[in-house]
Amino acid sequence: DQQVKQNSPSLSVQEGRISILNCDYTNSMFDYFLWYKKYPAEGPTFLISISSIKDKNEDGRFTVFLNKSAKHLSLHIVPSQPGDSAVYFCAASDTSGTYKYIFGTGTRLKVLA
């Protein structure tokens, strides 16, 4: 059973526009969420995170929004740049439980110049 889902396998956006990547989860015990970016032939790298006590966290061009009632989070990239083209994974953790991080299936973002 997929506890963390990214329903869009791919997304194309024009340079300078907003990219919105979505993630849904089913486990109400998850209380910490992260986004990772992955380039080909490299390991994922941490991008931004959010705790369940917040509904928004910003870091430069990247903002993560959390809607706990809908069990939904999204990553906004504004403005999008060609270097943002990568696969993006969301991940969730229950910090009171095990040490596990559960990942989604990923969304491939392509930013067109």
Partner 1 sequence: DVKVTQSSRYLVKRTGEKVFLECVQDMDHENMFWYRQDPGLGLRLIYFSYDVKMKEKGDIPEGYSVSREKKERFSLILESASTNQTSMYLCASSLSRLSLKGLFFGSGTQLSVL
Residues of the shown chain interacting with partner 1 in the complex, contacts defined by CB under 8 A: 4, 6, 9, 34, 36, 41-46, 49, 89, 91, 93, 95, 98-106
Compute the least distance from the CB of residue 113 to partner 1, in Å.
26
Choice between 75 and 106, CB closer to partner 1: 106
Choice between 69 and 98, CB closer to partner 1: 98
Compute the least distance from the CB of residue 60 to partner 1, in Å.
16
Q: Which of left, alpha, beta for 41 (phi over 0: left; psi -120 to 50: alpha)? A: left
Return d(Cα 78, Cα 76) in angstroms, integer: 6
58 Cβ contact partners less than 8 Å away, ≥ 6 residues apart: none
